[in-house]
Amino acid sequence: MHDVVDNAVKSMGRKARITKDQTAINKWILGQSTETTSDGTAVFSNTHTVLDGSTLDNLETGTLTPSNLETLVRSLRKQKDNKGDLGGHDAYGLLASLNLYEDALEITQSELKPGGAQNDANIHNTMFSKVYPAMEVVGTSPFIHSDYSSATNVNTMYFVASRNHSLKRFVRVAMDTWIRDYKDDDKLRYTYGGRYREVTSWIDPFGAVASSGTV
């Protein structure tokens, strides 16, 4: 009987964590469509108008290849801020759809050239590890998959972000748990409860770039 109670409590905590993760990941997945920033434009767009009047483009279309990944990293490094000055964004993380995760690891971490018949030195790996040493994290999520999302191109999209990207998690109420005494229940039952309250939101489009992975 006690194992059932323990498992129920653990399950509640696990579900809460999964829900938090899904909410945050959906902000990336839907960033090319319905998720917008303060300018009212999709997070990842070719047509962000910034305060100095110029246009910011942080959306690409290339499939995940070494060359196309370089394009995203380079785009992020060149990205300007609202004043038209250099934003100072170095690539810190690569977030890939679940179907692309192994390819992402191969491209960024292989010692030899990925996809080649010869044992050539992997110049792209050398570039990512030496020229872009700040790129430390390669990640994925089961939610970036068509089993859990109906978003367009969910199985081919990927993202490159700096440490300065603006997706924020505002914790209004941290995870709080309690047990209600059986004396407060009409049927003399103990009740275990819990809650949390937080908001996850993009502030602006700076510090991150995305590719739909379609071309």
In DSSP notation, 141-192 reads -TTSSTTT---TTTTT-EEEE-TT---EEEEEEEEEEEEE-GGGSTT---EE
Residue 198 lies in a domain: no
Residue 185 lies in a domain: no
Residue 54 lies in a domain: yes
Residue 66 corresponds to which tokens in the numbers above? 């070494």
Distance, in Å, from the CA atom of 156 to the CA atom of 175, rounded to the nearest integer, reads 34
State pLDDT tens for residues 170-209: 999 988 888 889 999 999 988 888 899 999 999 999 999 9
**What's the domain count of the chain?**
1
Within the chain, which residues score under 50 in pLDDT? none
Residue 186 lies in a domain: no
Please count the other Cβ atoms lying within 10 Å of the Cβ belonging to residue 208: 27
Residue 182 lies in a domain: no
Residue 173 lies in a domain: no
Residue 175 lies in a domain: no
| pLDDT for the residue 13 | 85
Residue 103 corresponds to which tokens in the numbers above? 């390819």
| pLDDT for the residue 102 | 93
Residue 79 lies in a domain: yes
Range of the domain at 49: 2-167+203-211
Report the DSSP beta bridge partners of residue 182.
none
| pLDDT for the residue 2 | 60
Report the DSSP beta bridge partners of residue 138.
94
